[in-house]
Chains A and B, each alone.
Chain A
């Protein structure tokens, strides 16, 4: 399985030295990239080149490089996490690109995710939404045996579908309104499908939505773009469930 070599590609990337810098695109040439390399390995090679030339390498977020930590966040050729589907940037491979191509790389663009440097954005707003209610209020210890409450397999599976969210923010970056509805829905929906989550369902839906609004995320207009960009295939049906949970909570006020 010898992979083809891309002889030369052009990487047009967003450079911004700090949050108050205006920022600009710069284009770099990279040579001899194996199509079997990952996109981030290509960026590693470009950065190695920049360091050797005495320039500042491109700052970008990444960690696990296996598509699960949610840290990597690049907007590539107009798509969150690039042209492939159901993957994160770190799992994108160079076989998706052609020789001689110009690849445009931007950070997540959303008011609630300010740029820190280059391609690194601040997603602390996501943590704050979770802190507002994304939990079941149980202390360590004093809980019943795991099999005390049976949970139908189909409910556990649906909860898992929602819980698969990695909190990367691709949904927000893709949404024309910078809405965080899919992110919030994933957590609310996970708990809505489980008996453990039902006790605080009303408080949770209200608190998380209120925090989302407070932090400057936009509203949802059901375009479905978030679902397409989501590397974990989180369905917008969870947004429908969030709306139901939210309305139920509001009506019982």
Chain B
């Protein structure tokens, strides 16, 4: 069944975007002033889009649940941003970045989107430099680069270990300039709880003012979702506590297809889980794998003694250390892509070589880099990460190796969008991590920042004009329309329902249970039996949640538990769809590893006969089975090969 039109332009790959831009419509400055756009989320994608649309002359309303747009979780990205600048003369190019991204994504992304991403990547760096982003520089004054996983060139630009922060502050400053100019109005501490669709087109949102509980209506000629990913479905992840999938889920319930929900990225270098009181996991940047070497003991007895605390890492001689990534993948070594590195760590730990008390950690060792480059160089490169590690674990990583373990990090799946970044609901767009289009089944390091800013600065501002050119005769949206009435009732009805359950257990009790189901059955390794079990257990959990959750406080005041309950209600549904999608995809690819589909030496085995598609799930009603549409992925420019980093 395929009724999906991805609107990929005709023509050779390298010309599609420029031909498309030349062909699409443009709105005149006089008409832009009459058009309203809502942007939900103020991370890299949302802030850059809101600022750019404001500069163009549209009336923009931007929303975020945090107290300031500057807090969005893009801020936590550490390592860097990719761009095909070829400043290092190492034979990088737009094509190479395109190819690396397609391959890294295990051939499950759209060629045309990925090529466009690579094409606009150099502009992003120029834009950020012009905004005053303090990228790292060489002594001669030029921009510096480093390497990242899954590639053989140095194309990653960085600002210490705070690249996401600096890029977000750049976009935030551009946004502030537009707020000052009056073209963008900001609604902080507001959470979008529904999309309003009138005559088949997105015409606004319903949002709750988190400071006083007031539910408000906002109308617009187009709505842009830039609300990030759904990784917190696992409870423990590297996402911020407030990150959620609710905006995307409300859009899904209003007719926007949800694509590839089973693709989530497990990041190999996180600080391991500690005890049962943990609330979130902290990422250690992938950039550390440039200079750190990953290992576990060769001998099981050494691993056992480490776990008991009888010896420490430094007691184990070099010849007794198993640098398993270098052993298994000699050409990429410690810089294999994230999904490969994560599975390899799990494999070693499952085999009994884990190094912490729980047996769920491997070493990331800087001893060799410090010997080679000196402590000062390492401190300059990673000082703030080392400090963070020491504050959390009380272990000094200059003297002892770090302990790391994989954790949920990023959602490659998301709202289905066409080439214009429009969802299956006309006038409703989805950008950044919230959409699905660019990273296939696995995202390469330093590409999330690239995609967020590409969508917000250089793609959406063009493509949204094509749609809005057809809306110039539409007057201001009347928020008294019955569709707004219905959406507001839907929102308040659900909040009241949750609040009035007055059960016995706090929200987190259910969220931890959901996280456990997801990690166990829909995590790093999946099989048919487990996925079916997950679907059953999630259904039971849903019933339990809706009959026994306890929400304290007041409806009309700041009420974090009420906010969390709403988000968890959606996470439960998202978890169900993830399991269905994973069950449906009977192959291993990227972050999706099916135990039924492996090669002889235990590597993930992709199956292009059955798997060369993007799923697009359509909502059929509460507790009804969703329908899956298939977008066939057509590869005209790269040859599909089994990914190898050996």
Which residues of A does B touch, CB under 8 Å? 1-3, 17-18, 33-34, 36-38, 40-41, 44-45, 47-48, 50-52, 54-57, 59, 61-71, 84, 86-87, 91, 93, 95, 116-117, 120, 122-124, 126-127, 130-132, 134-141, 143-147, 149-153, 156-157, 159-160, 163-164, 166-167, 190-191, 193-194, 196-197
- Judging by beta carbons under 8 Å apart, are A135 and B131 in contact? yes
In the assembled complex, the Cα of A177 lies from the Cα of B174 at a distance in Å of 30
- Judging by beta carbons under 8 Å apart, are B134 and A130 in contact? no
- Judging by beta carbons under 8 Å apart, are A69 and B76 in contact? yes
- Judging by beta carbons under 8 Å apart, are A36 and B141 in contact? no
- Judging by beta carbons under 8 Å apart, are A66 and B76 in contact? yes
B395 within 8 A of A: yes
Query: Which chain B residue lies CB-closest to A73?
Result: B67
Of the A-B pairs whose beta carbons lie under 8 Å apart in the complex, a sample of 28, sorted by A's number, is: A1-B393, A38-B279, A51-B561, A63-B73, A63-B240, A63-B242, A64-B241, A69-B240, A70-B71, A71-B67, A91-B388, A93-B394, A131-B176, A140-B458, A141-B457, A146-B85, A146-B135, A147-B143, A151-B137, A152-B137, A156-B136, A156-B137, A160-B162, A163-B159, A164-B162, A167-B70, A194-B132, A196-B132
Query: Which chain B residue lies CB-closest to A33?
Result: B277
Give the 9 A-B CB pairs with smallest separation, nearest first: A150-B141, A135-B173, A143-B130, A159-B134, A160-B134, A146-B129, A156-B137, A140-B52, A63-B240
Residues of B within 8 A of A59 (CB): 558, 560
- Residues of B354-404 contacting chain A, CB below 8 A: 356-357, 387-388, 391-395
Residues of A within 8 A of B275 (CB): 3, 34, 36-37
Residues of A within 8 A of B6 (CB): none
Residues of B within 8 A of A47 (CB): 506
**Given A1-B309, A95-B394, A196-B131: A143 and B126 interface contact (C-beta under 8 Å):** yes
- Judging by beta carbons under 8 Å apart, are A146 and B558 in contact? no
B475 within 8 A of A: no
Residues of A within 8 A of B394 (CB): 1, 93, 95
Hey, what's the 0/1 contact readout for B19-59 against A, CB within 8 Å counting as 1?
A: 00000000000000000000000000000100110010000
Residues of B within 8 A of A164 (CB): 160, 162, 165
| A242 CB, min distance to chain B CBs, angstroms | 16
Residues of B within 8 A of A123 (CB): 67-68
Query: Which chain B residue lies CB-closest to A196?
Result: B132
- Judging by beta carbons under 8 Å apart, are A45 and B132 in contact? no
Query: Which chain A residue lies CB-closest to B560?
Result: A59
In the assembled complex, the Cα of A117 lies from the Cα of B562 at a distance in Å of 15
- Judging by beta carbons under 8 Å apart, are B241 and A65 in contact? yes
B interface residue count range (under 10 / 10 to 19 / 20 to 34 / 35 or more): 35 or more
**Given A48-B506, A140-B52, A156-B136: A196 and B87 interface contact (C-beta under 8 Å):** no
Which of A69, A130, A163 has the most B CB atoms < 10 Å from its CB?
A69
Query: Which chain A residue lies CB-closest to B174?
Result: A135
Residues of B within 8 A of A196 (CB): 129-132
Query: Which chain B residue lies CB-closest to A132?
Result: B180
B476 within 8 A of A: no
B333 within 8 A of A: no
In the assembled complex, the Cα of A157 lies from the Cα of B136 at a distance in Å of 7
Hey, what's the 0/1 contact readout for B58-101 against A, CB within 8 Å counting as 1?
A: 00000000111111110110000000010100000000000000
- Judging by beta carbons under 8 Å apart, are A167 and B68 in contact? yes
Residues of A within 8 A of B131 (CB): 135-136, 138, 196
Query: Which chain B residue lies CB-closest to A37?
Result: B277
In the assembled complex, the Cα of A159 lies from the Cα of B159 at a distance in Å of 10
- Judging by beta carbons under 8 Å apart, are A144 and B557 in contact? no
B482 within 8 A of A: no
Residue from A40, A86, A145, A150 in contact with B140 in the complex, judged by beta carbons closer than 8 Å: A150
- Judging by beta carbons under 8 Å apart, are B176 and A127 in contact? yes
Residues of A within 8 A of B560 (CB): 57, 59
**Given A117-B558, A146-B85: A140 and B173 interface contact (C-beta under 8 Å):** no
Residues of B within 8 A of A37 (CB): 274-275, 277-278
- Judging by beta carbons under 8 Å apart, are A91 and B391 in contact? yes
| B196 CB, min distance to chain A CBs, angstroms | 27
B123 within 8 A of A: yes
- Judging by beta carbons under 8 Å apart, are A64 and B68 in contact? no
| A119 CB, min distance to chain B CBs, angstroms | 11
In the assembled complex, the Cα of A232 lies from the Cα of B388 at a distance in Å of 11
In the assembled complex, the Cα of A48 lies from the Cα of B504 at a distance in Å of 11
Residues of B within 8 A of A166 (CB): 165
**Given A69-B66, A135-B131, A143-B127: A93 and B391 interface contact (C-beta under 8 Å):** yes
Residues of B within 8 A of A137 (CB): 177
Residues of B within 8 A of A120 (CB): 558
In the assembled complex, the Cα of A28 lies from the Cα of B200 at a distance in Å of 53
- Judging by beta carbons under 8 Å apart, are B240 and A65 in contact? yes
Residues of A within 8 A of B173 (CB): 130, 134-136
- Judging by beta carbons under 8 Å apart, are B132 and A136 in contact? yes
- Judging by beta carbons under 8 Å apart, are A44 and B279 in contact? yes
In the assembled complex, the Cα of A13 lies from the Cα of B280 at a distance in Å of 23
Residues of A within 8 A of B125 (CB): 146
- Judging by beta carbons under 8 Å apart, are A140 and B141 in contact? no
Residues of B within 8 A of A69 (CB): 66, 71-73, 75-76, 240
Residue from A63, A124, A190 in contact with B134 in the complex, judged by beta carbons closer than 8 Å: A190
Residues of A within 8 A of B280 (CB): 65-66
In the assembled complex, the Cα of A189 lies from the Cα of B128 at a distance in Å of 18
Query: Which chain A residue lies CB-closest to B68?
Result: A127
B169 within 8 A of A: yes
- Judging by beta carbons under 8 Å apart, are B71 and A63 in contact? yes
Residues of A within 8 A of B451 (CB): none
Residue from A18, A51, A95, A135 in contact with B550 in the complex, judged by beta carbons closer than 8 Å: A51
- Judging by beta carbons under 8 Å apart, are A140 and B134 in contact? no
- Judging by beta carbons under 8 Å apart, are B55 and A140 in contact? yes
Residues of B within 8 A of A17 (CB): 557
Query: Which chain A residue lies CB-closest to B507?
Result: A51
| A67 CB, min distance to chain B CBs, angstroms | 6
- Judging by beta carbons under 8 Å apart, are A52 and B506 in contact? yes
